[in-house]
Amino acid sequence: MTSSQLPCGVRIRGTGSCVPERVLTNHDLSKMVDTSDEWIVQRTGIRERRICDPAREGTFTMSRDALARALDAAKMKGSDLDLIIVGTVTGEMACPSVATRVGAALGAVPAAAFDIAAACCGFVYAINLADTLIRAGRFRAVGVVGAEALSTITDWADRGTSILFGDAAGAAVLVRDPDPRIGCLYQTMGADGSAWESLYIPRHERDIPEKDRANPITLGNLRMNGKEVFRFAVNKFREVMEDALTQAGLDSQSVGQIICHQSNVRIIEAARERLALPPEKLYINIDKYGNTSAGSVGLCLDELWRAGKIEPERPFVMVAFGGGLTWASGVWRV
């Protein structure tokens, strides 16, 4: 056996995040569409969100800056990485990937680099995959990013989506560690493509499902049936959390932080109540950033990490669900 084939663990060495400076409040939105601060706060928990300045910001710049901060926190350089994975559905171009540009900008060439499209599950899919690849002995140091510039694909006249989304990136640097007890203890990733019509971004007329043909749709903009996604998310969140806790032998007391995709505060609260989880274990920052899709879990992780709330030895959980439809969980020990 070579040293890379020996059983190993995975250490999260550093985290980082990036949000644009520009703040869009509910009050600002109420001047753009027929809505109100009261409705948005009650139905979603969101008070404001960050929006890219398209002249100088986007998924690439946020991904680059989030990963640069994670590398700083890890006391590592881009050249230490041998793989970069970016979870996003708002990459500037289909080719090159965001990850390859991030690698070049951070001096990580010739690290392997690719994007994955798993919508709101982008960060959890990417970090689960990174753990698996490191444990398989193929990679030693991986930069993982979840990033989304949803403002670039939002129909600002559609109050069903424009009030919900925001822009952000979250990142982590993972390294191979000789202690096999640390890293991802349990993970799931799943998808049900038969329900894709609940949330999609059409490129061509032919992509638009029959049921939506009567409504005005701008190609390239995100289209969502909020009610359908809401129902799916409440049930799937509970199911995925129950499975993760059971499989990892944890309960509401022994588990640490539960970092869940910030979809809608009502979705998070519904699952929390059904699972009888204490409120202080379910982190919420949707009030400040809105739903940032693949950006949200990495952004929460970075805020908790920097606040010293991820306790060594006490496993924490990351969980997400969204377009595809997709879902994912990971139980981690640091």
Could you give the residue numbers annotated as active site?
120, 261, 291
Residues 277-296 that bind ligand UT7 (CB under 6 A): 291, 293
297: Cβ contacts below 8 Å, ≥ 6 apart: 123, 124, 146, 170, 259, 260, 261, 318, 319, 320
Does residue 164 bind ligand UT7 (CB under 6 A)? Answer: yes
Q: Site map for ligand UT7, 241-280, x if CB under 6 A?
A: ----------------------xx----------------
Smaller CB distance to ligand UT7: residue 45 or 103?
45
Stretch that binds ligand UT7, among 81-89, 213-221, 223-231, 271-279 (CB under 6 A): 223-231
Task: State the pairing for strand pair 183-191/167-177.
Answer: unpaired
Q: Are 158 and 332 in contact (CB under 8 A)?
A: no
| CB 300 to ligand UT7: min, Å | 14
Question: Is the sign of the CA dihedral 237, 238, 241, 243 positive or negative?
Answer: negative
Return the number of other C-beta atoms located less than 10 Å from residue 112's C-beta: 17
Give me the DSSP letters along 133-146: HHHTTS-SEEEEEE
3-state secondary structure of 99: helix
Smaller CB distance to ligand UT7: residue 164 or 334?
164
| CB 121 to ligand UT7: min, Å | 9
List, in sequence order, every residue forming a beta bridge with 332; answer none if it has no partner.
184, 316
Q: Are 297 and 123 in contact (CB under 8 A)?
A: yes
3-state secondary structure of 196: helix
Stretch that binds ligand UT7, among 35-43, 122-130, 133-141, 169-177 (CB under 6 A): 35-43
Count of chain residues binding ligand UT7 (CB under 6 A):
20
Smaller CB distance to ligand UT7: residue 216 or 312?
216
Residue of 10, 84, 229, 259 interacting with ligand UT7 (CB under 6 A): 229
Backbone angles phi, psi at 234, to 5 degrees: -60, -50
| CB 32 to ligand UT7: min, Å | 11
List, in sequence order, every residue forming a beta bridge with 189; answer none if it has no partner.
328
Does residue 154 bind ligand UT7 (CB under 6 A)? Answer: no
Does residue 226 bind ligand UT7 (CB under 6 A)? Answer: yes
Stretch that binds ligand UT7, among 76-84, 91-99, 126-134, 156-164 (CB under 6 A): 156-164
Output the CA–CA distances (angstroms, integers) from residue 44 to 56, 123, 136, in the order listed.
Answer: 29, 22, 40
| CB 198 to ligand UT7: min, Å | 8
The residue sitting closest to ligand UT7, measured at its beta carbon, is 226
Cα gap 278→54, rounded to integer Å: 40
Residue 313's region, left for phi above 0, alpha for psi from -120 to 50, else beta, is left
Does residue 47 bind ligand UT7 (CB under 6 A)? Answer: no
Does residue 44 bind ligand UT7 (CB under 6 A)? Answer: yes
43: Cβ contacts below 8 Å, ≥ 6 apart: 264, 266
Task: State the pairing for strand pair 141-149/48-50.
Answer: unpaired
| CB 38 to ligand UT7: min, Å | 9
| CB 161 to ligand UT7: min, Å | 7
Report the interface residues with ligand UT7, using CB under 6 A: 35, 39, 43-44, 120, 159-160, 163-164, 199, 226-227, 229-230, 233, 263-264, 291, 293, 322
